[in-house]
Amino acid sequence: MRLNRCTGGFAMLALAAGLAACASEGLEEAEMTLMPTTSSTSSTAAAETTAAEETSTSSGDNDGYITRVALGEATKDASFPACDGRNILILTSVIDERREEDTHRQLAEATLVGEPFGKKFTVPGQCSSLRKSVDGNLIYPVYLDFGSDEAAMCAAKARHGGNARTLNNDADFHDPC
């Protein structure tokens, strides 16, 4: 599937249709290609595969957490960042209030639609510096990874908002920006 996005301005992405519209005229367009992640031998198998991708959760080795989301043909797998002091900017957190379909949709939209590009999500409590739950509901952080570049993370926070965090296993929740 081919998608266009407008650089230097806002764009509305219609992922399922592969369409983009610019908020104003005269903006440069950039193109990206999304490749389907599955193949099938029949249309029935394709429908079953798509339905499974749209609602898939992990197997028991990841405590039943959501590890893949889909929006149309676009998919995103959960990331498992190292708790090595890397800097991330949490853009939003999706709270799983035990409505699996809604949580999948929210995670898919948060990671696959809109700017900034390169967003990832991880499982609840991947590092102890990421809260695992609130009021008994799991938290899926949607974030940008800046590795060791704290200055870039803080600049992105100034542009996009969110919560800056250093990933560690010290249960340190402070925002270094």
pLDDT in tens, the chain (177 residues): 333 333 333 333 333 333 333 333 333 333 333 333 333 333 333 333 333 333 333 333 467 899 999 988 999 999 999 999 999 999 999 999 887 788 999 999 999 998 898 999 999 999 999 999 999 999 999 999 999 999 999 999 999 999 999 999 999 899 999
Q: H or E stretch including 13?
A: strand 11-14
Q: Other CB atoms closer than 10 Å to residue 1's CB: what's the count?
A: 14
Antiparallel, parallel or unpaired: β 11-14 and 19-22: antiparallel
Position 81: which residue type?
P
- According to the model, what pLDDT value does residue 118 have? 93
Return d(Cα 22, Cα 9) in angstroms, integer: 7
Q: 40 CB contacts (<8 Å, ≥6 apart)?
A: 46, 49
- According to the model, what pLDDT value does residue 62 have? 60
